[in-house]
Amino acid sequence: MKVSEAMTVDVQLVSPDQTIGEAARMMADHDIGALPVGQNDRLVGMITDRDITVRATAAGRGPDTKISEVMSQEIQYCFDDDDLDEVANNMGNIQVRRLPVVNRDKRLVGIVSLGDIAACEDAKHTGKAMAGISTPGGPHSQTAH
């Protein structure tokens, strides 16, 4: 199965110049936990509810903090024509629950989450990805920044 068959296509996008308060409201309004950050038609980062909580609120920053100050800039992504099993394995290895999905022109076309994979794949693939994601530490640890 290809990523395009499982991904969420209705993606909300924010700008690095918007505030974390705006991002949090968008997350609440759309019941989502992550937003891709775009600038000049390019993906420049991701901001998650956890970024807002740990990198901003816990550090004493307010809702007017710019997204660019707390977003993850190291963007991991996959292509819409990638094999879903391979992407699930990669998500476990790099310890992320969501990946932006781009087409071969590197334009954002969706997001694939662990939930999307669970809805489409068998429990073995989902469990393997979750086990990797849940291992403490790693390159996306909030305390490593």
Radius of gyration of the chain (CA): 15
pTM score, whole prediction: 0.80
**72 with 51: CB under 8 angstroms?**
yes
Structure tokens at 74: 């190291």
**108 with 29: CB under 8 angstroms?**
no
From CA 34, how far away is CA 13, in angstroms rounded?
10
What 3-state class would DSSP assign to 14? strand
Higher pLDDT, 30 or 132: 30
Going along the chain from its start, the domains and CATH numbers come out as 3-135 (3.10.580.10)
Angle at 78 between CA 73 and CA 82, to 5 degrees: 175
- pLDDT tens for 97-116 read 899 999 999 899 999 998 88
- pLDDT tens for 45-58 read 999 999 999 999 99
Q: How far is CA 92 from its chain centroid?
A: 13
